[in-house]
A and B are shown apart, each in its own frame.
Chain A
Amino acid sequence: MPTATPLSRVNDFVVRFANVNGSGSASANEMFARAILRMGIPVAPRNIFPSNIQGLPTWYEVRVTEDGHLGARGGTDLMVAMNPQTFDKDIASIEPGGYLLYDSTKPYPPSKFRDDITVIGVPLTAICNREYTDPRQRQLFKNIIYIGVLTALLELDVAAVEQLIAEQYKGKDKLIGPNVKALHIGRDYAILNLAHPIGLRLRKTDKVGDKIFVEGNSAAALGAVYGGATVCAWYPITPSSSLADAFTKWCAKYRVDPETRRAKYAIVQAEDELASIGMVIGAAWNGARSFTATSGPGISLMQEFIGLAYFAEIPAVIFNVQRAGPSTGMPTRTQQCDLISCAYASHGDTKHVMIFPENPAEAFEMGAMAFDLADRLQTPVFVMLDLEIGMNHHLCRPFQWDDSRTYDRGKVMTYEELEAGKDFGRYLDVDGDGIPYRTYPGTHPTKGSFFTRGTSRDRYAKYTEEGGPYVDNMQRLLRKFETAKDIVPKPLIANAAKPSKYGVIYFGSTAPAMDEAIHMIEARGHGLDRMRLRGFPFHSSVNSFVADHDFVFVVEQNRDAQLRSLIVNECGIDPVRLVPILHFDGTPITARYIAKAIGDHLDQMTMKPAKVTS
C-alpha cells in the first residue's frame, strides 16, 4: 500500500509514456490522446524526442484537462515506463500518489520502486512473445496492448480506440483486425488481473466542441497556401522541416490545376539556407509570394540576404520555428531565443517585422497574413513559431476564412498607371507612410524599370554614394517601420478582476501556460493585468501598458530576456520597470513555473513588514 494517498481525479491528470525512439510507439500514443478527445475531453499532448533516429529515449505526454488548460503542467500522474534506460528517472518524476505502469516480464526488486506510488506490472513482453512470432510484431503490438490495458485502468472508451484504428488503417484493412485484437489482449489482461479502474479516470463530457486538433507547422503551411504563397524554397532543419513537408502536401491537395494536373506552385529544396532565402527574394522581387521555413542556424546563415531584402525593400516571408540554441544547442527542444537575431538580422541598421502566433489557429491566420504584411510593407516578415507550437498537436478553434478577402499586394504600379504618366520613383515616399511603389519586372517597355541593389541610391533608384540621399532613404525606412506598428497584429490585453498595480507581458507559445497561471496567481491573492504581444514593431499600447503599472513581468523562454531587451530598446522603457521571468531548459514553460515565479515575487512585494516591539 503506497504511503501517499493514491491520486483520485477525473479528466484532470498527466499521463506520460516513456519509450525508445524508433520503437513504433508514436502512433499508439497519439491514438490514446485522440481517443480521449473523442470522449469530449480536451487534451494537450507533447512530444519530447531526441536528436537522433533510433535507440535514444523519447517521451509522449498527454495532459488530460477538462478545464482546457493547454499549456504543459509539469509532473506526471501516470507513467507508462517502457524504456529500461530511463526507468529510474521516470519513476522519480511521478507525483506523490501517482501510478506506474511497467513491463513486469522481468521482475524488479521492490527497492526499484517508490513506496508513495501505485505500481502496476503487466508482463507485456511475455504476452507478446506468447502471441506473436515475428519480432517486429512483438514490438509494435506491445504498444497497442498497453493502450488496451489503459482502456480498463482509466475507463478509456474502447470503441473510440477501435474507431481510430479503423481510420488509421483505412485502405490497409488487413491491419485493422490484428490491431483490434492486440487492444483487447491488453484490455482483457487488465480486467482479469488488475485492480481497475484506478484513481485517475476518464468520463465522457462535451468540452471539446468544434475544436480541431492540429500541429502548428501544418497550420502555418496551410496559412501559406491560403495566403497565396506560390514559391517555397527551404533547406531541411528540425523543427521546421515539417512545415515545408506540410506545404508540399497541402499544395498537392489544393493547388493542382484540375484540368492540366499541373502545379500552381513551385517548391525547391535548396542546397542551403543561403540559397533558400536567395530564391525567396528573387521570386518576391519578381512579384510572386514566396517564403522559406527555417530555424535558428538557418537564420544565422541568411543574415546578409535579409539585410538586402530590408534595404532593397523586398517582401520575403520567413517562418522561424525556434529551437534551443546557441549553435546546435538542443535541436529538438523548444525555446523563444531568436527574437533579437530576427529583429535586427543582418549588418548595419536594420529592423524587421515579426509576428507571434500563440497556437495553430493563429499560425494559420498569421501564416496567411504574413504575405499581405510583407507585400504591403515591402520588407521581410518573420513568423515566429517554436518547436512547442510547430511540432505538437494542439486543440484550438477551427480555422476560418472570409471568401470576400482578396490578397493585398501593396503598392505595385501597373502598366496602366505608368502609361497614365504617374511619377514612378522606386524609393519615393509618395504617401508619407514610408512605403514606396514598386513595379514587377516586365511591366512596361519604357517606363517603370529600375535597378535593385544593396548599395545606396537616390529616390529614383539611381546609384549614389552621397550622404544626403542615403540618410533620406534610411529615415524613410524608419517611417515605414512606424507605419508597421499599426499594421501588425495588435497586442491583446486582459485585465484582472480588480484594478491591479502589476502587469505581465508575454507572447507565442507561452500563452496557454499563462492563461492557466493567471488563475493560480489569483488563487494566491494577486491580480495581474495581461498583455499578449502579437507583433513587432511594438504597438504604442505597450508603452501605456507599462506606464499604467508599478511594474510589469516579462515572461519568455530564453536566458537573456530578449523580449525585455527589445521592449527597453524599442519603447524606451526603464528596465527597472520590467521584471524578467525566464524559462529556458528546452521544455515548454509551465503554468506552475510561471505562477511560482510571479507569485513569489508578488508575495514579497506585498508582504507587510512585521511589527517589531521592543
Chain B
Amino acid sequence: MTYLAKPKFHHPGLPKNELGYTHRDYEGTVSTLCAGCGHDSITGAIIQACFELAIEPHRVAKISGIGCSSKTPTYFLGNSHGFNSVHGRMPSVLTGANLANRDLIYLGVSGDGDSASIGLGQFAHCLRRGVNMTYIVENNGVYGLTKGQFSATADRGSKSKRGVINTDNSIDMVAMALQLGATFVARSFSGDKQQLVPIIKAAIAHKGAAFLDVISPCVAFNNHAGSTKSFDFVREHNEAVNRLDFISTRMPIELQQEPGTVEIVEQHDGSKVALRKLDADYEVHDRAAALGFLQHHAAKGQIVTGLLFVEKESEDLHAHLHTVDKPLNALGTKDLCPGSAALDAFNASMR
C-alpha cells in the first residue's frame, strides 16, 4: 500500500500498546514505492510487529542496502536512526553497528538483487558470524529500482516482463541461510500478514542471526503471467508449514492449545514462541530436515512458508568475541586508555 498523507493528530481512540504508543508512532514517512508494491505490505507488517512487541522505536537501528526494498526503512519507525548504505553491503554496516552497541535492536532490510547478487558474500558472512539481527530480504525475483532485470533468485524458466526466459539456476536464500548456520530461518509472503507479523516478532526476539525471506511481488516488473513471484503464482503454490503466534514475556500468554499440535520454543532471552504446526511431522529444531523439506517441496515447484528452523541455544557474535556487557560505544577514555604508566613500561620493554 502507498501511504497517503498522514493525519497530524493522533485519533484519541487509537489503540495503544503497553508503552502507550499507538500504531502511528511506529510509522515513518509516506512511501514513494509503486502502489501495490509488496514491499509496502512488509513495511506494514514490521510496523505491526514492533507495535505489538511494544518496542521503543528509538531503540531500533534500521539498516539497508540499495534498491526499492532498501528504501523502506524510511517508511517505518520514524523515530529510529536509519542507514541506507551501499548496494549489497548492508550486512557489514549492520555488523559494525551491532559491534558498537549490543543493546539496540538491529533490523536489516535488503532486496534479492541486493543480497543474492552483489551482496551474496556479505549475506553469507554475517549469517555465519551470528550477528544478532533480523535480516529481511524483500524478494521479488527482479531488480525493481533498475527496472526489471532478473535477480539471482528468479526461477529458471521464468519470464521477464520483456519476454526474456531466465536460463540461470536460482539461488534459494533460505536454503543458503540454513547451510550458513543462521539460527532462525523463515520464509513468508508479503500478502499473508497473519503469518508474517508473528514471524517478524519472533525474529526480533531471537538472539542471534535471524533470516527472513519474504516473497514480495513487484507490481511494476514481476506480477505478470510467467513470473513465479507474482501474487497469483505464489498464492497457488504456497505450502505453509506452520502458523506462529508470538508471546513476549510482557504479554499475557494467549495460546490456542490443541494438544499435540503446539510447540513452545524457548528463546535465549527467555521469551517464548509458540508454533502450531500444520504439517504433523515438521520438526522446527532440525536444520537438516528443514533443508530436506525445503528441497523436497522445491522439486515439486512449491514454496514453503513459515518458520523453518530455530536453534534452541543460539549465541551471537558478541558471545563469540567475549565482549563486555556495556556497549563498546559507551566506553570512555577511562575504560579504554591504558595511560602513561603502562606506556612507560611498554617503552622499557622495547629497549
A→B interface (CB under 8 Å) = 37, 208, 210-214, 222, 225-226, 228, 230-231, 233, 254-255, 257, 260-268, 270-272, 274-288, 290, 304-305, 308, 398-403, 405-407, 439-446, 449-455, 463
In the assembled complex, 15 residue pairs joining A and B whose CB atoms fall closer than 8 Å, in A order, are A212-B347, A212-B350, A226-B338, A228-B336, A231-B99, A260-B324, A270-B125, A279-B96, A282-B95, A288-B328, A308-B86, A401-B343, A405-B337, A452-B84, A453-B84
Determine whether B59 belongs to the interface, using a CB cutoff of 8 Å to chain A: yes
Q: Is the CB of B84 within 8 A of A455?
A: yes
In the complex, the 10 A-B pairs of residues with the closest C-beta atoms, listed nearest first: A282-B96, A278-B92, A288-B100, A279-B96, A441-B81, A287-B329, A283-B96, A286-B100, A282-B93, A212-B350
Determine whether B226 belongs to the interface, using a CB cutoff of 8 Å to chain A: no
Q: Is the CB of B83 within 8 A of A399?
A: no
Q: Measured between C-beta atoms, what is the minimum distance from B78 to chain A in Å?
A: 7
Determine whether B335 belongs to the interface, using a CB cutoff of 8 Å to chain A: yes
Interface residues of B in 71-125 (CB under 8 A from A): 73-74, 78-86, 89, 91-101, 103-104, 121-122, 124-125
Q: Is the CB of B58 within 8 A of A449?
A: yes
Residue of B nearest to A444 (CB): B58
Q: Is the CB of A445 within 8 A of B57?
A: yes
Determine whether B331 belongs to the interface, using a CB cutoff of 8 Å to chain A: yes
Interface residues of B in 322-351 (CB under 8 A from A): 322-325, 328-329, 331-333, 335-340, 342-343, 346-347, 350-351
Q: Is the CB of B58 within 8 A of A305?
A: no
Looking at B82, B332, B335, B350, the one whose CB has the most chain A CB atoms below 10 A away is B350
Q: Using A231-B99, A279-B99 as known contacts, say yes or no to A405 and B333 having CB atoms under 8 A apart.
A: yes
Question: In the docked arrangement, what's the CA distance between A260 and B323, Å?
Answer: 10
Q: Measured between C-beta atoms, what is the minimum distance from A306 to chain B in Å?
A: 10
Q: Is the CB of A290 within 8 A of B351?
A: no
List residues of chain B with CB within 8 A of the CB of A255.
336, 338
Determine whether B61 belongs to the interface, using a CB cutoff of 8 Å to chain A: yes
Q: Is the CB of B121 within 8 A of A271?
A: yes
Residue of A nearest to B347 (CB): A398
Q: Is the CB of A442 within 8 A of B58?
A: yes
Q: Which of A212, A304, A406 contacts B86 (CB 8 A)?
A: A304
Q: Measured between C-beta atoms, what is the minimum distance from A418 to chain B in Å?
A: 11
Q: Is the CB of A278 within 8 A of B122?
A: yes
List residues of chain B with CB within 8 A of the CB of A287.
100-101, 329
Residue of A nearest to B125 (CB): A271
Residue of B nearest to A274 (CB): B89
Q: Is the CB of B81 within 8 A of A452?
A: yes
Question: In the docked arrangement, what's the CA distance between A398 and B347, Å?
Answer: 6
Q: Is the CB of A264 within 8 A of B74?
A: no
Question: In the docked arrangement, what's the CA distance between A287 and B94, Å?
Answer: 13
Determine whether B214 belongs to the interface, using a CB cutoff of 8 Å to chain A: no
Determine whether B321 belongs to the interface, using a CB cutoff of 8 Å to chain A: yes
Residue of B nearest to A364 (CB): B343
Q: Using A213-B351, A270-B92, A405-B333 as known contacts, say yes or no to A400 and B343 having CB atoms under 8 A apart.
A: yes
List residues of chain A with CB within 8 A of the CB of B83.
282, 285, 451-453
Q: Measured between C-beta atoms, what is the minimum distance from B61 to chain A in Å?
A: 5
Residue of A nearest to B118 (CB): A274
Q: Which of B81, B124, B336 contacts A442 (CB 8 A)?
A: B81
Question: In the docked arrangement, what's the CA distance between A279 and B125, Å?
Answer: 12
Q: Is the CB of A265 within 8 A of B333?
A: no
Q: Is the CB of A400 within 8 A of B328?
A: no
Q: Is the CB of B82 within 8 A of A275?
A: no
Question: In the docked arrangement, what's the CA distance between A567 and B163, Å?
Answer: 55
Q: Measured between C-beta atoms, what is the minimum distance from A325 to chain B in Å?
A: 24
Q: Is the CB of B84 within 8 A of A286?
A: no
Determine whether B56 belongs to the interface, using a CB cutoff of 8 Å to chain A: yes
Q: Measured between C-beta atoms, what is the minimum distance from A229 to chain B in Å?
A: 8
Determine whether B193 belongs to the interface, using a CB cutoff of 8 Å to chain A: no
List residues of chain B with CB within 8 A of the CB of A290.
96, 99-100
Q: Is the CB of B343 within 8 A of A268?
A: no
Q: Measured between C-beta atoms, what is the minimum distance from B26 to chain A in Å?
A: 12
Q: Is the CB of B338 within 8 A of A225?
A: yes
Determine whether B275 belongs to the interface, using a CB cutoff of 8 Å to chain A: no
Q: Which of A225, A286, A403 contacts B101 (CB 8 A)?
A: A286
Q: Measured between C-beta atoms, what is the minimum distance from B147 to chain A in Å?
A: 18
Q: Is the CB of A264 within 8 A of B331?
A: yes
Q: Measured between C-beta atoms, what is the minimum distance from B97 to chain A in Å?
A: 4
Q: Which of B59, B84, B125, B321 contacts A266 (CB 8 A)?
A: B321
Residue of B nearest to A278 (CB): B92
Q: Is the CB of A230 within 8 A of B100?
A: yes
List residues of chain B with CB within 8 A of the CB of A454.
84-86
List residues of chain A with CB within 8 A of the CB of B136.
none
Q: Is the CB of A264 within 8 A of B85?
A: no
Q: Is the CB of B129 within 8 A of A268?
A: yes
Q: Is the CB of B328 within 8 A of A265?
A: yes
List residues of chain B with CB within 8 A of the CB of A281.
85, 93, 96
List residues of chain A with CB within 8 A of the CB of B56.
445
Q: Is the CB of B323 within 8 A of A441?
A: no
Q: Is the CB of B79 within 8 A of A445?
A: yes
Question: In the docked arrangement, what's the CA distance between A272 and B120, Å?
Answer: 12
Question: In the docked arrangement, what's the CA distance between A212 and B121, Å?
Answer: 43
List residues of chain B with CB within 8 A of the CB of A211.
351
Q: Is the CB of A222 within 8 A of B323?
A: no
Q: Is the CB of A443 within 8 A of B347?
A: no
Residue of B nearest to A226 (CB): B337
Residue of A nearest to B32 (CB): A463
- With A268-B99, A445-B58 given, can you name 12 additional A-B contacts, CB distance below 8 Å? A254-B342, A266-B323, A268-B321, A274-B121, A277-B92, A282-B92, A282-B94, A284-B100, A399-B346, A441-B58, A442-B59, A446-B58
Residue of B nearest to A215 (CB): B350
List residues of chain A with CB within 8 A of the CB of B101.
286-288, 440-442
Q: Measured between C-beta atoms, what is the minimum distance from B330 to chain A in Å?
A: 8
List residues of chain B with CB within 8 A of the CB of A222.
346
Q: Is the CB of B79 within 8 A of A283?
A: no
Q: Measured between C-beta atoms, what is the minimum distance from B335 to chain A in Å?
A: 6
Q: Which of A278, A286, A446 contacts B79 (CB 8 A)?
A: A446
List residues of chain B with CB within 8 A of the CB of A210.
347, 351
Q: Is the CB of B350 within 8 A of A450?
A: no
Determine whether B203 belongs to the interface, using a CB cutoff of 8 Å to chain A: no
Q: Is the CB of A264 within 8 A of B335?
A: yes
Looking at A37, A254, A267, A443, the one whose CB has the most chain B CB atoms below 10 A away is A254
Question: In the docked arrangement, what's the CA distance between A304 and B3, Å?
Answer: 33
Q: Quick one: CB contact mask for B23-57 with A, threshold 8 Å, 1 for yes? A: 00000000000000000000000000000000011
List residues of chain B with CB within 8 A of the CB of A305.
86, 89
List residues of chain B with CB within 8 A of the CB of A278.
85-86, 89, 91-93, 95-96, 122
Residue of A nearest to B126 (CB): A275
Q: Measured between C-beta atoms, what is the minimum distance from A45 to chain B in Å?
A: 14
Residue of B nearest to A441 (CB): B81
Question: In the docked arrangement, what's the CA distance between A589 and B73, Å?
Answer: 52
List residues of chain B with CB within 8 A of the CB of A225.
336-338
Question: In the docked arrangement, what's the CA distance between A443 and B81, Å?
Answer: 9
Q: Using A212-B347, A263-B324, A284-B96 as known contacts, say yes or no to A228 and B122 having CB atoms under 8 A apart.
A: no
Q: Measured between C-beta atoms, what is the minimum distance from B340 to chain A in Å?
A: 4
List residues of chain A with CB within 8 A of the CB of B97.
282-283, 285-286, 441
Q: Is the CB of A263 within 8 A of B323?
A: yes
List residues of chain B with CB within 8 A of the CB of A37.
351
Residue of A nearest to B77 (CB): A449
Q: Is the CB of B333 within 8 A of A268?
A: no
Residue of A nearest to B338 (CB): A254
Question: In the docked arrangement, what's the CA distance between A288 and B335, Å?
Answer: 13
Looking at B74, B86, B100, B122, the one whose CB has the most chain A CB atoms below 10 A away is B100
Determine whether B63 belongs to the interface, using a CB cutoff of 8 Å to chain A: yes
Looking at B73, B81, B94, the one whose CB has the most chain A CB atoms below 10 A away is B81
Q: Is the CB of B100 within 8 A of A275?
A: no
List residues of chain A with CB within 8 A of the CB of B82.
449, 451-453
Q: Is the CB of A400 within 8 A of B340?
A: yes
Residue of B nearest to A453 (CB): B84
Q: Using A228-B333, A441-B104 as known contacts, say yes or no to A280 and B89 having CB atoms under 8 A apart.
A: no
Residue of A nearest to B121 (CB): A271
Q: Measured between C-beta atoms, what is the minimum distance from B50 to chain A in Å?
A: 14
